[in-house]
Structure 1
Amino acid sequence: MANIHFIGGEKGGVGKSVLARVLAQYFIDRSKPFLGFDTDRSHGSLLRFYSDFASPVVVDRYESLDNVVEAASENPDKRILVDLAAQTHDSLVKWMDESGVLEATGELGLTITYWHVMDSGKDSVDLLKKLLDRFGSRLNYVIVLNQLRGENFDIFDRSGEKEHALSLNARIITLKRLHEAVINKIDAGSTSFWAAKNKSETDIKGLGILERQRVKVWLNHAYEQIDGLYV
């Protein structure tokens, strides 16, 4: 049964695209077939870093978004990974409502998982509340506490939304912090995480032996978190 994974969080800069790249690399390393869709017209990370697996999708065009469900239906053995750009939530919800997406995917035997990527600020908590209030138990949720964008999630812990999410069977994982200089060098080289951890120093400008090792440690922790989700 195909699973459609929407990587969201609505707020810009919370690390949605980093998580999408981690999931893409996870699927590759775990030999899990997948197809990617990228909604960011100007800075599409899946198109940039995993172009062999990704296609563009225009989130405010229904016929473009329809391709996500069509791909899931036609490729039941593949996971569908959709990297949502910032400020696309309302367009996505409108498409889902007016197209009866949840009803259609249910009839097709498809499941939808929404990965809500959070930084440590209140805005991320407010956006999570909006998401949970809107869809309730009709979606599967994974909440990602992204330590690349802050390590203290006390606001989330005290907000009541953690309990709200858990009551809807949401799963919560942590994406640990990776040294900023390392991820900046990876991005500057437009390279996949596989290349970052495996290639020699001459292949990626300025990325040294221990920097590559830090990528391996970071990815291994992320993979351990994702393994527990059985995606």
Structure 2
Amino acid sequence: MKKMIFVHGDKGGVGKSTFASLLADYYLHQDKPVAIIEGDKMVRDVAPRFENVEKATVVEIDLARPDMSEDAVVALFSAMENHLTETEIAIINTPAASSATLDRQADIIAPTVKEMGYDLVVCWMVDVGVDSVIMADKSALCKMADQKVAVQNTRLKSVEALPWHRHAVREKWLSEGGMEIVLPGLTERVISRVRDIPAPFSQIVLDRENGLTIVERQSLKRWVESAWAEIAKMEDTTNE
């Protein structure tokens, strides 16, 4: 099943780029062709990891254009329609404040995705701020998605301590058929070490010449495997 996955969350610093990288790594590991759309040309967080990876196609489209939101969306899908017709999985790493572009144009995005033969999936990042929870409920793109997934980023707090866990929005989200998964936390020491290594996380684990210590690679390996187990839950729900 072809999927177009928007890694959304509107705010910066909620883990969108990290999760988008894990998603791309996960599907490439399954030998599926993946397109990675970097939505902010000024902040290239995901593209450098996959530019030289087999079966990965990287496209950069500026989606941080609230003043010209329709132009941004038309540019995005024109590029995809012209160059990515054989891609099974498309992952859009959205920039901060992208609701002003994407949610405003949701009524164009949803039917375009469908006509292109993809399921529309929105992975909404929720973190320690209650505003990320409230914005999830307001997102027009989430409302029109074939699958909406709340991704609980536990880098700073446990699942139970996140506002999402005790908010009425969560109950509403789940009652509407939405699902929730967890983005596991990774120690800051390892995060800082891998941040600037231009390779998928799973490849960093295997590379013994990248400067990471053995224990750092083992910590990263466990984190990747835990994250992939959470992503697999999205597949299980789709296949039910």
**Coarse TM-score class (shorter-chain normalised):** 0.7 to 0.9
Q: Paired residue for 2:62?
A: 58
Q: Paired residue for 2:43?
A: 43
Shift of 1:125: 1.0
Q: 1:179 aligns with which of 175, 184, 187?
A: 187
Task: Tell me the SS of whatever aligns to 1:45.
Answer: coil
Equivalents in 2 of 1:155, 1:111: separation in Å? Answer: 29
Q: 1:83 aligns with which of 86, 93, 99?
A: 93
Equivalents in 2 of 1:126, 1:108: separation in Å? Answer: 30
Matched ranges for 1:9-48 at <5 A: 9-48=9-48
Matched-pair identity in %: 24
Contact 2:35 2:84 in 1 (8 A): no
Q: Structure 1 154/35 Cα, relative in aligned 2: closer, same or farther at 3 Å?
A: closer
Structure 1 unaligned residues grouped into runs of 5+: none
Q: Please state if 1:94 is matched with 2:104.
A: yes
Equivalents in 2 of 1:125, 1:220: separation in Å? Answer: 26
Contact 1:3 1:113 in 2 (8 A): yes
Q: Structure 1 25/129 Cα, relative in aligned 2: closer, same or farther at 3 Å?
A: same
Match for 1:194: what amino acid? Answer: S
Match for 1:166: what amino acid? Answer: L
Q: Number of aligned residue pairs: give it.
A: 223
Provide the TM-score with structure 2 as the length reference.
Answer: 0.84
Equivalents in 1 of 2:142, 2:231: separation in Å? Answer: 23
Task: Tell me the SS of whatever aligns to 2:14.
Answer: coil
Q: Paired residue for 1:144?
A: 151
Q: Paired residue for 2:204?
A: 196
Q: 1:225 aligns with which of 223, 230, 236?
A: 230
Q: Structure 1 164/186 Cα, relative in aligned 2: closer, same or farther at 3 Å?
A: same
Q: Paired residue for 2:68?
A: none
Equivalents in 1 of 2:43, 2:174: separation in Å? Answer: 33
Deviations 1:58-84 (A, max 9, x none): 223243222365269722x51111000
Structure 2 unaligned residues grouped into runs of 5+: 66-71
With 44-53 and 138-147 compared, the bigger mean Cα shift is at 44-53
Contact 2:73 2:109 in 1 (8 A): no
Task: Tell me the SS of whatever aligns to 2:91.
Answer: strand
Match for 2:144: what amino acid? Answer: R
Q: Paired residue for 1:117?
A: 125
Match for 1:223: what amino acid? Answer: W
Q: Please state if 1:158 is matched with 2:163.
A: no
Equivalents in 2 of 1:17, 1:154: separation in Å? Answer: 20
What root-mean-square deviation, in Å, do the aligned CA atoms of Structure 1 and Structure 2 show? Answer: 2.1
Equivalents in 2 of 1:126, 1:27: separation in Å? Answer: 30
